[in-house]
Amino acid sequence: MNNIKLVVLGAGSVGKSSLTIRYVHNEFIDRYDPTIEDMYRKVVEISGDHFMLEIMDTAGTETFLAMRDLYIRNGQAFMLVYSITSKSSFLDLESVKDQILRVKDMPVSKLPILVIGNKSDLENERQVQSQEAEKACAKWGLPFMETSAKTNMNISSAFECLVREMQKKTLGKNKSSKKKANFCHIC
C-alpha cells in the first residue's frame, strides 16, 4: 500500500477542515474553529491501487504561515482551497502555488496540485466566477473543481483526482480515467 502525504492549504475560513472532515468522516462541521494543524488518515482504493492518505489540514491564519514551508517540504500532493465567496482567498492562491514550487524546487508539471473552489452551495454570495478560476488554473497548468462540503458535492472526486494526479506525476502510473468533473482539465 502506498502512503500519500496530502496537504490542504488556503486562507482562513475557506472550508479546509470542512472538506477534510467531510471526506474522512462524512460529516459536515458548520462552525468555524480555526485550525492550527490536524492530521487525518484514510485508506482508499483508486484505479485498483490501495493508498493510505495522510491528510494534513493546515492553518490558514497569518499567525501560522511560517509553518507552511515545513508542510510543503513534507507533503507529496497539494489541495489549494479558496472560497467562492471570498475574492481575496482566491487571489492568495497564486502565492501559495509559487511557494510550493519554490520549496519543492520542481516545475508545476511534476507536482500533484489541485485547486478547489469551495462553498459552491453559497452561489448567491459568489465573488469568484467559475470562468475566472478556470482561466487562472489553465494559465497555471493546474486542474480545478468546485466543491461544497455542506452538500458533499465533488468531495470524494476532489481527493480521488489528487491521488490520480499523484499516480501520474510521481508514481509513474497513468491509469487515470479521463472522466470530467466540473471544470478545467480534471482527472
Evaluate if residue 181 carries a pLDDT over 60: no
Fold of 2-169: Rossmann fold (3.40.50)
Evaluate if residue 180 carries a pLDDT over 90: no
Q: pTM of this prediction? A: 0.88
Phi-psi region of 184 (alpha: psi -120 to 50; beta: other; left: phi over 0): left
Sheet with 77-83, strands from edge to edge, namely: 37-46, 49-58, 2-10, 77-83, 113-118, 144-146
Looking at the DSSP assignment, which residues form a beta bridge with residue 70? none
In 10 A of CB 15, how many CB atoms?
A: 29
Q: For 60-70, how does the pLDDT look when each residue is reduced to its tens digit (9 = 90+)?
A: 655 555 678 88
Q: For 152-163, how does the pLDDT look when each residue is reduced to its tens digit (9 = 90+)?
A: 999 999 999 999
| 117 vs 148: CA distance, rounded Å | 8
Residue 86's pLDDT is 98
Q: Domain ranges for the chain, please list them.
A: 2-169
